Amino acid sequence: MPRGIQLLHDPVFNKGTAFTEAERDALGLRGLLPPRVQTMEEQKARVMENFHLKPNDLERYIYLTSLMDRNETLFYRLLVDNLEKLMPVIYTPTVGQACQMYGKIFRRSRGLYLSWNDKGQIKRVLKNWPRKDVRVIVVTDGERILGLGDLGAGGMGIPVGKLALYTACAGIHPGQCLPVTLDVGTNNEALLQDPHYLGLRQRRVCGPEYDAFVEEFVDAVKSVFPRALLQLEDFGNANAFRLLEKYKDRICCFDDDVQGTAAVALAGILAAMRLSHGQLEGQKFLFMGAGEAGLGIGHLIVAALKEAGIPEDEAKRRCWYVDSKGLIVKERTDLSEHKKAFAHDYPFRAGLQQIIEDLKPTALIGAAGRGRLFTQPIIEMMARLNSHPLIFALSNPTSKAECTAEEAYRWSGGRAIFASGSPFEPVQIDGRTFIPGQGNNAYIFPGVGLGVVASESRLVTDKMFLVSARALSALVSEEDLAVGRIYPPLQKMREISLHIAVEVAEEAWRTGLARMERPDDVTAYIRSLMYDPVYKVYA
């Protein structure tokens, strides 16, 4: 453990003004701090007061990141106790702007940058990470950051933010978390010309060379951090599906954009059935967007329908997709392999209104990363066709949302069941208050990760996301549904994650994937693993 000024510069051990008189004497801190000793509660009050003085959310993001760099324990205590208020700042939607401006707001490096220049020595670079018991790695190559596209090395904000939520929501110890960015270049011309851009100034490596680079990284992770769960994050569509398929049965990994988004969306749909008094088997889903998120949701819906006894071909006929060119049907010759699974034998249509009129979907799910697609005529048509249309505007950040909560409720006469990727404020219509549900992946991935870490599962399976979705939907109360909310409050996130972790761990034990023996009380065991950010006494 460091002493003196080095201790005050170490975010893991630093307590700032909370060091007691005895600790100041024992650790060589006397005179290096103002004389008053503060409690953590007093420190939190000071931080939140300064937080509210900041002029905008980007400045608040910078302020909170700086706190994490100074005092890790205080940062996580603040985040745990104020999750609903702070999550939109440290993650979606503010993290999108932070990634766009990463080179300009850079203060102190976090995580590991593995660049194309490191090929052939990635294992050695991984060993530079000072914390050795890594259990969760979130990695991106920055090609498809949220709905903002290729942000190159600036995408590091995503792994950092995701891992902060692993700790706050599921109690994964921050010392067991590692954010990684694979910098293989960028095709973003603005970044290549930006003097403040901090990544490699070259176009993206692709093809066999890219695959060899990722393979070297995966092999290095298995060697250096053999107990780690690897979460793939914000890879481009062309690589995301391919890499997930390549590695999901070889290493303990998952893709949150494909599988996490699918689970949180399915959980919202299952909860919505309680509001609409419908059944999953009776729904027809129309997706705007056939990328990672949209197709991931469709595949998980199909898995849930198959469990209900519906044949796979029939289950797929409940899911229809619209991409940038129009309806995905068999007659099209321009479809990528991952879209063909949902290409139906049906006449091609290009316009969304005509598609809705023909197909008469019960649910409209936006996952295209293109804002304002759900116009007033579209939502009014969905409300005409359905007593309680499901309107899910899941694209992030807020600027990319297909519609706002107020638009969905107002244009449907208050009958829409709404969820979004980014948070929206409550909406009042005709004397009734609607609290929109945020289909945030943070409801799913921290609990999945905790369950995998707790059971030491060798793999992450699709079934784990199905049981996670069911577990999350079961936690939506009648009080939540009464205000139109199809997800439980964010303040309950640690209990939600614990509940999901238990189901995931149980699935690992049921399928023989767990590498540790099942304890008698699974819930108590997993709860005992969850990090609680409180100060330790050093003297």
166-189 pLDDT, tens digit per residue, is: 999 999 999 999 999 999 999 999
Please enumerate in sequence order all residues whose Cβ is within 8 A of that of 364, keeping only pairs 6 or more positions apart, or say none.
286, 288, 356, 374, 378, 382, 389, 390, 391, 392
pLDDT for residue 162 is more than 90? yes
Q: Hey, what CATH topology would domain 108-251 get?
A: Rossmann fold (3.40.50)
335-363 pLDDT, tens digit each: 998 999 999 999 999 999 999 999 999 99
Question: pLDDT value at position 238?
Answer: 87
Strand 112-115: give its sheet, edge to edge. Answer: 112-115, 177-183, 136-140, 229-232, 253-255
CA distance 371 to 379: 14
Q: What are 231-278's pLDDT values in tens digits?
A: 999 999 889 999 999 999 999 999 999 999 999 999 999 999 999 999
| pTM of the entire predicted model | 0.95
Return mean pLDDT, the chain: 97
The residue written with tokens 């007033």 in the block is 376
Instruction: Give the model's confidence band at 501: pLDDT under 50 very low, under 70 low, under 90 confident, else very high.
Output: very high
Domain ranges within the chain, ordered by starting residue: 4-88, 108-251, 258-539
Which ranges constitute the DSSP H helices of 101-206?
102-105, 122-126, 157-170, 189-193
Rounded distance, CA 5 to CA 27, Å? 10
- What is the assigned CATH class of domain 258-539? alpha beta
Query: Which residue type sits at 352?
Result: L
Residues paired with residue 397 on neighbouring β-strands, in sequence order: none
CB distance 279 to 273 below 8 Å:
yes
Task: Report the distance separating Cα 379 and Cα 34, nearest Å.
Answer: 59
Instruction: Kindly report whether the peptide bond that precedes residue 34 is cis, defined as omega within 30 degrees of 0.
Output: no
Instruction: Tell me what pLDDT residue 530 has.
Output: 98
What pLDDT score does 66 carry?
A: 97
| Same CATH fold assignment for domains 4-88 and 108-251 | no
Cβ neighbours of residue 462 closer than 8 Å, sequence gap 6 or more: 259, 299, 300, 303
Q: Which helix (H) or strand (E) holds 58?
A: helix 57-70
Which residue from 505, 501, 526 is spatially nearest to 456, judged by alpha carbons?
A: 505
Confidence of residue 370 (pLDDT cuts 50, 70, 90): confident
Q: Tokens 């051990």 — which residue?
A: 13
Taking residues 445-455, what's their average pLDDT?
Answer: 98
Fill in the amino acid letter for 506: E
SS (H, E, C) 511-527: CCCECCCCCCCHHHHHH
Please say if the pLDDT value at position 317 is more than 90: yes
Instruction: Give the residue among 43, 41, 45 at the shortest CA–CA distance from 33.
Output: 43
Cα 118 to Cα 128: distance, rounded to the nearest angstrom: 13
Question: How far apart are the C-alpha atoms of 475 and 489, rounded to whole Å?
Answer: 10
pLDDT of residue 194: 97
The yes-or-no verdict on residue 129 having pLDDT over 90 is yes
**pLDDT at residue 444, rounded to an integer:** 98
Which letter, b or e, does each residue of 361-380 get, where b requires 16 or more Cβ atoms within 10 Å of its Cβ? bbbbbbbbbebebbeeebbe
- In sign, the C-alpha dihedral spanning 460, 464, 465, 471 is negative
| Rounded CA separation 18/4 (Å) | 15
Instruction: Give the end-to-end CA distance of the chain in Å, rounded to a whole number.
Output: 12
What pLDDT was estimated at residue 430? Answer: 87
According to CATH, the topology of domain 4-88 is Hemocyanin, N-terminal domain (1.20.1370)
Active-site amino acid positions: 91, 162
pLDDT at residue 266 in the model: 98
430, exposed or middle or buried, with CB in 10 Å at 0-12, 13-18, 19+? exposed
Mean pLDDT of 64-70: 97
* Cα(311)–Cα(316) distance, integer angstroms: 9
Q: List alpha helices for 308-442, DSSP H.
A: 312-316, 337-340, 352-359, 376-385, 405-411
Main-chain phi, psi angles of 489, to 5 degrees: -60, 145
pLDDT surpassing 90 at residue 70: yes
Long-range contacts of 211-216 (CB under 8 A, 24+ apart): 212/119, 213/116, 213/119, 213/182, 213/184, 214/182, 214/243, 216/119, 216/120, 216/122, 216/123
Give the SS3 label for residue 424.
coil
Closest C-alpha among 127, 150, 253, 255 to residue 205: 150
The single-letter DSSP state of residue 457 is B
